[in-house]
Amino acid sequence: MGNRFKGITDLIKPMDEEQEPNKNEEQSEPKKTGGNTVGTALKVIGVLVAITGVIAMSYADDYALLIAGFIGGVLFIGFGEVIHLLQKIVDRQSGDN
């Protein structure tokens, strides 16, 4: 029974160097940001353009407004996605250095 509990020092052990997080590993990873604000803004504008195209079509009874709103919205969303992908490439390359 004496072997079960040797003392308080067995319960509280100092942190070994192996348990500490390696500071070099943390610095080598690229910093993850919340994203590119320009890309996000373009995506939001694209969704708004598409929605306003649908709403305008319902008032004007013209399918050209629907098509123009859809194409314009998709273009804005596409440009926003391209900016996000380019930012990921830049972040990855800056993390390799």
Domain ranges within the chain, ordered by starting residue:
41-97
pLDDT for the residue numbered 11: 53
For each of the chain's 97 residues, which pLDDT tens digit applies? Answer: 555 655 555 555 555 544 555 555 555 555 555 568 989 999 999 999 989 888 888 888 778 888 888 899 999 999 999 999 999 999 999 887 6
Check: CB of residue 95 under 8 Å from CB of residue 29.
Answer: yes
pLDDT for the residue numbered 78: 94
pLDDT for the residue numbered 18: 47
